[in-house]
Amino acid sequence: MKIYPNYHTHTHYCDGKGTAQDYVTEAIRLKMPALGFSGHAPVPFKSWWNMPANDFEKYLNETWELKEKYREQIDIFVGIEADYLEDLLSANDFASQNLDYIISSLHFLLPKKAEQPWDFIISSGKFKTGLAQYFGNNSKQFLNYYYSQMNAMIEKGGFDIIAHIDQANKFNKHKQFFDEDTPFFKKLINETITLAAEKDIIIEINTRGRLKKLSENFYPSPAFLKMCCEKKVRICLSADAHKTSELQSFLPEAALAAKAAGYKEVFELNKTGWQAVAL
């Protein structure tokens, strides 16, 4: 079985389990060609799963040291997963950190009625409560807002990879809240994919939703991914690992999903930058 690189990795510095050294040891054991660290970057409000601000420098120093220590055995890359929140957070906040790459994502939203950032993906209960409180259970309004924020994140730029781009459907198993096959939904995602293509940003195929049994599909969904291929959006494969045992979770299946969508290559990071690699 082919062993893949993984650039979406969370250690004990944020909401992962295990040290950075643990991940490097396991990646070498697996003979992975590359390992990227992408700790959840600090945010200026309460969040149990983001890295505390006073640990950020320590995280960077440790991962850079590991990169140098094991440079003859594995390519290690130092990155972060930076949250976007309109007028408050963006990947550009970390432009001075000399990182190898940045993943950007939406975990929080700030609708007009919200007094504090809404962590809409933390649990199904909080999602339901927020959908009712901020959008009157109108899923179209929620989706319009989510994808408007995704588009604003892409426009703001400053990052390499979009994480779990359609995570708005995290709790939408069995179409509980909305139908992803409607022209309305397809129009929204087409606008976002078109923008990502224009900005030449990589979209990851993130396997964590399937790993956690929240969905039978990956992020993006098959229809979403096919549209990405049609627009010639670059992709990479991502295990979104929170444990060392998850470093290869469903990556072979993600490669098959990419092929099924029409892709013939994925992008992998090496010492010279992002390079196309045949599937």
> Would you state the pLDDT for residue 40?
98
Largest CA distance in the chain: 56
Q: Specify the pLDDT at position 24.
A: 98
Q: What is the pLDDT of residue 196?
A: 98
Q: Which residue has the tokens 């939703």?
A: 209
Q: Which residues of the chain have pLDDT under 70?
A: none
DSSP secondary structure letters along 37-100 = EEEEPP-SS--SSSPPGGGHHHHHHHHHHHHHHTTTT-EEEEEEEEE-BTTTB-GGGGGGG--S
Q: What integer pLDDT is reported at residue 75 of this predicted model?
A: 98
In the prediction, which pLDDT does 70 show?
Answer: 98
3-class state of residue 238 by DSSP: strand
pTM of the model: 0.97
**Residues 87, 124, 261, 143, CA torsion sign:** negative
Supply the pLDDT for residue 215: 83
- Tell me the residue ranges of DSSP E strands in the chain: 34-40, 75-83, 101-105, 108-109, 118-119, 161-162, 202-206, 235-238, 265-270, 273-278
Specify the pLDDT at position 213: 87
